[in-house]
Amino acid sequence: MRILVTGGAGFIGSHYVRTLLAGGYPGFEDADVTVLDKLTYAGNLANLDSVRDSPRYTFVRGDICDGELLRGLLPGHDAVLNFAAETHVDRSITGAAPFVTSNVTGVQVLLDACRTAGVRKIVHVSTDEVYGSIATGAWTENSPLDPNSPYAAAKAGGDLIALAYARTHGLDISVTRCCNNYGPRQYPEKVIPLFATNLLDGKPVPLYGDGENVRGWIHVDDHCHGVQLVLERGEPGRVYHVSGDTELSNRELTAAILDVCGASWDMVVPVADRKGHDRRYSLDDSLLRSMGFAPRVQFPEGLKDTIEWYAANRGWWEPLDRPAPPARPSR
């Protein structure tokens, strides 16, 4: 089997590739993997150092918006996993164009090329943010889309393109929507690696608004196992939720990070809330669990292991362009 992984040098995609090539998905131990990645700021070939000498691994630098490249690359591949996306909400607020290009147009171009090449199975990886905000309860896969940020709107657009191609062209496409991921090698603009690296450097961390915005959390390894399950057993034109067992307010998450880092609340600086900041996300993932999925990494140990990884791997994150730490209020 040959699998194309788009965005495979990023945080989640590279974890999937490393796990696959290490034999972590039974039945796929002999699969060949092609990674396609544009290597934007969040794509990092260092994420693939451990597999670069594998005879089953091929890297191609390129963009999912490049139809000519895809038409030459895709023939012979049995499956495509689309992890490629612009993902950071704050960046989408200051400039939405790259998000629409990658997350909507890129999906359309990729799927057209898959259709031409006769790719048998496609998994399009998405996010819980397409639903907007939910005060109580949890979204099912049939809940209406109501995105609030440009990032979420672009991802919703890509999801709809994918589902339309399944219905119109009969492509075997499944869509996964996941809660917040964490783990090693996540670019330090997202909250856990940003807070961890700031605190490791003795710098303060920013807490949006009142800190009561709630998110679900899942370790990247569990997310990738969910994606693999959908690759193996997902039905065409169907959405699958992938979620963990932990929901935390940002204040609760901050407290947990401070505790692991041995830091106090003096290191936390309240900042103005993000524009259009969704209050709460929550996914009902009973469909995937009925297929045998269950998260394996407990959040407390996963968070501790993640922060310890950043402490031990400064050479990975210190060269990266991180957001400036917040200014401490004058006393």
Token representation of residue 119: 């790719």
Cα 302 from Cα 169, distance rounded (Å): 41
Cα 300 from Cα 197, distance rounded (Å): 18
Token representation of residue 80: 């495509």
Cα 300 from Cα 98, distance rounded (Å): 35
Cα 281 from Cα 131, distance rounded (Å): 8
- Listing DSSP states for 238-260 in one string gives EEEEE--SEEEEHHHHHHHHHHH
Closest CA to 103 of 129, 79, 121: 129
Burial status of residue 292 (CB atoms within 10 A of its CB: 0-12, 13-18, 19 or more) = exposed
Cβ contact 40:8 at 8 Å: no
> Residue 303: CA atoms inside 13 Å, Cβ hemisphere, count?
21
Cβ contact 60:17 at 8 Å: no
Cα 279 from Cα 214, distance rounded (Å): 6
Closest CA to 100 of 158, 165, 42, 187: 158
Parallel/antiparallel/unpaired status of strands 79-82 and 57-61: unpaired
Cα 295 from Cα 264, distance rounded (Å): 30
Catalytic residue ranges: 128-129, 151
Parallel/antiparallel/unpaired status of strands 214-219 and 205-208: unpaired
Token representation of residue 316: 């990975």
Rg (CA), the chain: 19
